Structure 1
């Protein structure tokens, strides 16, 4: 078997790859903006360097050999990767893509209003945001970061707490006017998340004996609180994530009682090395979260 010599000419590899995709020297020449004779010559030179035949010259077009079938997918992938990286050099700067999975409540209630400042500070980092409901696989989904709610006990990832997120009662103004004390909640529809013990924890913090809660169950706090805004019932949610609704008096926080069931965390795989973009985002969001911790205006009751 012929050995492959180093330093194969890039133009010849490109001519072969295009010809193999089109099964035509003529169409490859049009794609590469050269003559048909130049493409044919480059392919013949590559065949000589490799010591094998890559195409069967047919009366109409080209036929693939076993060798060309083995070589084509490798070159197509390699040229695609090169093209993808080169496209990131726009305007003389390297553009890096950063993919982040974010629990929906945090994305809408906290992250989105701050993205403009990140973009202004780091215009050459392209953010791609995917939402999830706390069920996320960073490796399988190709995520650089995930922002999750919980206790931070995820062994495969580095976990840095961003914000504490105590839960409290949130409801529409009409319902808030009916509530003179926590015990009045027994007459209201209590909306539930998929975490079944939240209302039990809040009842305990409020000094109440728990009662069965049979309201609708939501897989998203954002959706649950939207139902509360529309008067469908009373939600138990982190007020920090709904500061705009509280300030606009679409929601009210009738009681000060809170219960802590988790926090929001920035997580990334232990096996993943930090790139310049991931370092920039990590420092930025931790600084933003530190500022939020100092100034908790979003938690104020309307």
Structure 2
């Protein structure tokens, strides 16, 4: 006979996890739809059951004890797994439903232009594309697949290399004709440079790109600063200056002649694009077909 698991009261554990995550009994009560006193009672019940405090009560705030930190980490992992399992077993039983997440730039420039080809090959699969630069946890969401740029070391899923990338200066045909002779990286700083400002540490900006060729970005440069890469490429297409082109993202625009590569100077990216799939969830037939299609159309090297 299998021994019964020794678990604390689950209602108390739920209240504790919410209070720990939100660092507030009041906010936990609001989330759970109960009173602040009810949350306080449940946390006290948990502490009595276990025999030690979960929180250090300070003036107008609470802090987790070391044992509290250990328990909340385990509780959150368990709740995430339960939420993912519930989502899996309660969603509509439709083998052709597929949810894919990718960054705004990758979706616009690479993924969405190729989706018609996939849909023609698999007309029975309904696609949902989630575009956001802040990637949600794939284990605790309804995502089937995420495409991410980075080092491949993510704890919430299994990452498989899709392809790497390289970066070089690009501009419109009209801008190239009026800009004059540009042959080397050092020539670029005399022209308007289009940059996108981001806190993403995996992103390569003008300063880092020019430094690869021992060129210093002047303190006073003229050009345009954008919040998103899609805006920077749009500005380059409109002839407003020179942007950094990530080959995987601007490849179609180069083939169409809407953008041109200004020099032969390129910088290989430190990171790469990866396909990330949940570790703990059963992979659907639609996901398997999409992964097979990705492998068929993507070259793992830039050649």
Q: 1:7 maps to what in 2?
A: none
Q: 2:208 maps to what in 1?
A: 201
Q: 1:210 maps to what in 2?
A: 217
Deviation at 1:134, TM superposition (A): 4.8
- Compared with structure 1, are the counterparts of its residues 189 and 100 closer, same or farther at alpha carbon in structure 2 (3 Å cutoff)? same
Unaligned residue ranges in structure 2 (runs of 5+) = 1-85
- Pick the aligned partner of 2:191 from 173, 188, 193: 188
Answering whether residue 247 of structure 2 is matched by residue 239 of structure 1, we say yes
Q: What is the alpha-carbon distance in structure 2 between the residues aligned to residue 273 and residue 220 of structure 1?
A: 35
Aligned 8 A contact 1:102 1:147 in 2? yes
Q: 1:115 maps to what in 2?
A: 115
- Compared with structure 1, are the counterparts of its residues 234 and 129 closer, same or farther at alpha carbon in structure 2 (3 Å cutoff)? same
Aligned 8 A contact 1:171 1:251 in 2? yes
Deviation at 1:161, TM superposition (A): 1.6
Q: 2:106 maps to what in 1?
A: 106
Q: 1:124 maps to what in 2?
A: 124
Q: 1:271 maps to what in 2?
A: 280
TM-score (norm 1): 0.60
Answering whether residue 154 of structure 2 is matched by residue 154 of structure 1, we say yes
- Compared with structure 1, are the counterparts of its residues 172 and 263 closer, same or farther at alpha carbon in structure 2 (3 Å cutoff)? same
Aligned 8 A contact 2:137 2:156 in 1? no
Please identify which structure carries the higher helix content: 1
Aligned 8 A contact 2:149 2:273 in 1? yes
Q: What is the alpha-carbon distance in structure 2 between the residues aligned to residue 197 and residue 277 of structure 1?
A: 34
Query: Per the alignment, in what secondary structure is the counterpart of residue 167 of structure 1?
Result: strand
Counterparts in 2 of 1:215-230, with a 5 A limit?
215-230=223-238
- How well do the aligned residues superpose, as a CA RMSD in angstroms? 2.8
Counterparts in 2 of 1:1-302, with a 5 A limit?
84-85=92-93, 88=94, 95-177=95-177, 178=179, 179-181=181-183, 182-193=185-196, 194=198, 195=200, 197-212=204-219, 215-261=223-269, 262-290=271-299, 293=301
Deviation string 1:111-153 (CA, Å, 9 cap, x unpaired) is 2233233223322221111111253332454211111122222
Aligned 8 A contact 1:133 1:219 in 2? no
Aligned 8 A contact 1:201 1:259 in 2? no
Deviation at 1:197, TM superposition (A): 4.9
The number of aligned residues is 207
Q: What is the alpha-carbon distance in structure 1 between the residues aligned to residue 172 and residue 165 of structure 2?
A: 21
Deviation string 1:159-206 (CA, Å, 9 cap, x unpaired) is 112121211111122332324232222222222231575222321233
Query: Per the alignment, in what secondary structure is the counterpart of residue 115 of structure 1?
Result: helix
Query: Per the alignment, in what secondary structure is the counterpart of residue 267 of structure 2?
Result: coil
Q: What is the alpha-carbon distance in structure 1 between the residues aligned to residue 279 and residue 122 of structure 2?
A: 25
Q: What is the alpha-carbon distance in structure 2 between the residues aligned to residue 223 and residue 160 of structure 1?
A: 29
Higher relative contact order (Cα pairs below 8 Å, separated by 6+ residues):
2
TM-score (norm 2): 0.60
Unaligned residue ranges in structure 1 (runs of 5+) = 1-76, 89-94, 297-302
